[in-house]
Amino acid sequence: MDRQFLTDFELIILLAILRVGDSAYGVSIANEIEQTGGRTVLLAAIYTALDRLEGNALVTSSYGDPTPERGGRAKRFFKVTPKGLKAVKDTQRSFVSLWSGIPQLKGGTA
Partner 1 sequence: MTPHTPPRLAAMLVRLAAGGNDALVGDLEEQFRSGRSRRWYWSQAARMMLRRPIRDPRVQIVAAIPALLVLGISLGWWGTSRIAVPVLLGLTFTSWKLWRLHRTSLVLLYAISVALVLPEWMVGTTLLMTDGDRLFWAIARVLAGYGVVGVLMIPFLILRLDRSGPLAEPPISLSLGR
Footprint of partner 1 on this chain (CB under 8 A)? 1-11, 25-27, 30, 42-45, 47-49, 52, 63, 67, 69-71, 73-76, 86-87, 90-91, 93-95, 98
Closer to partner 1 by CB, 40 or 104: give it: 40
Phi, psi of 76 (to 5 degrees): -110, 110
Q: How far is the CB of 107 from partner 1 (least distance, A)?
A: 25
Q: Are 76 and 25 in contact (CB under 8 A)?
A: yes
Q: Are 24 and 78 in contact (CB under 8 A)?
A: yes
Closer to partner 1 by CB, 19 or 61: give it: 61
Strand partners, 66: 74
